[in-house]
C-alpha cells in the first residue's frame, strides 16, 4: 500500500454532533437551574465550549472530503496544507488521552514546519511537545480508516520509524 487516504466520516461526525449538542444542552440546563453563581458560570462555560465543538463538527460535515493522507513522501494534513516528510519525523507514537487514541508526531526540526502554520497552531505544538505528546497530533475519531490502519501503514512503509514500538502507548490521562 503506497497511499492511505483518511476521509471524514459522515456517520462518525453525525455521532459527534449529537454528543456535542447533548453537552451544550446539559451546560445550558446547569446554567439555568443552578443555585449558585459559580455553578451557573460553569454551566455557561461548558455550553460555550461544546458549542465550539458543534461548529467544528458542522464544518467537517459540510466540508467532507479528505482530512489527511499518508503516502510514501509523508503525511499531508489537508486542514493546514502542511506536508510532513517522513525523513523529518523523529518519532511517531500512539497517545491515549482519556480513552481517545491519537497519532502523535515529533519533528526533527520543528521550526522548519511550525513556521508554515498559524501562531495559534505553533503555540499548541510547543505546548503538546512540552507535555511529551509530540508536536503534531492526528485524531481518527471522525475519519475512516482508523488509527490501526495508519499505524500499519507506518510500520510497513516507513523503515526508519519501525524502531518505534507499536506497544509504546503513553496514557496521558495518568499524567493529569
The answer to whether the CB of 117 falls within 8 A of the CB of 130 is: no
pLDDT attached to residue 172: 46
Q: How far apart are CA 82 and CA 173, in angstroms?
A: 28
Q: How far apart are CA 46 and CA 130, in angstroms?
A: 26
pLDDT in tens, 43-92: 999 999 999 999 988 987 888 789 899 999 999 988 777 888 998 898 88
State the helix-helix crossing angle for 37-63 and 10-33, rounded to 10 degrees: 160
Distance of CA 33 to the CA centre of its chain: 34
Q: How far apart are CA 119 and CA 66, in angstroms?
A: 24
Under-50 pLDDT residues of the chain? 163, 166-169, 171-176
Residue entry with cell 475512516: 144
pLDDT attached to residue 163: 46
Q: Which residues pair with 113 in a beta bridge?
A: none
Q: How far apart are CA 109 and CA 125, in angstroms?
A: 13
pLDDT attached to residue 117: 82
Amino acid at each position: 500500500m503506497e497511499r492511505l487516504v483518511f476521509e471524514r466520516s459522515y456517520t462518525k461526525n453525525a455521532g459527534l454532533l449529537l454528543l456535542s449538542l447533548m453537552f451544550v444542552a446539559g451546560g445550558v440546563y446547569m446554567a439555568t437551574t443552578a443555585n449558585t453563581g459559580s455553578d451557573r458560570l460553569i454551566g455557561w462555560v461548558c455550553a460555550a465550549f461544546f458549542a465550539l465543538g458543534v461548529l467544528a463538527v458542522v464544518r467537517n460535515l459540510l466540508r467532507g472530503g479528505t482530512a489527511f493522507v499518508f503516502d510514501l513522501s509523508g503525511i499531508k494534513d489537508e486542514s493546514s496544507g502542511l506536508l510532513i516528510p517522513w525523513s523529518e519525523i523523529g518519532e511517531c507514537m500512539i497517545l491515549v488521552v482519556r480513552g481517545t487514541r491519537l497519532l502523535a508526531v515529533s519533528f526533527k526540526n520543528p521550526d522548519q514546519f511550525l513556521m508554515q502554520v498559524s501562531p495559534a497552531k505553533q503555540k499548541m505544538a510547543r505546548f503538546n511537545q512540552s507535555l511529551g505528546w509530540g508536536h503534531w497530533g492526528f485524531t481518527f475519531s471522525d475519519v475512516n480508516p482508523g488509527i490501526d490502519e495508519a499505524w500499519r501503514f507506518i510500520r510497513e512503509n516507513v523503515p526508519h520509524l519501525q524502531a518505534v514500538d507499536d506497544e509504546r502507548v503513553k496514557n496521558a490521562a495518568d499524567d493529569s
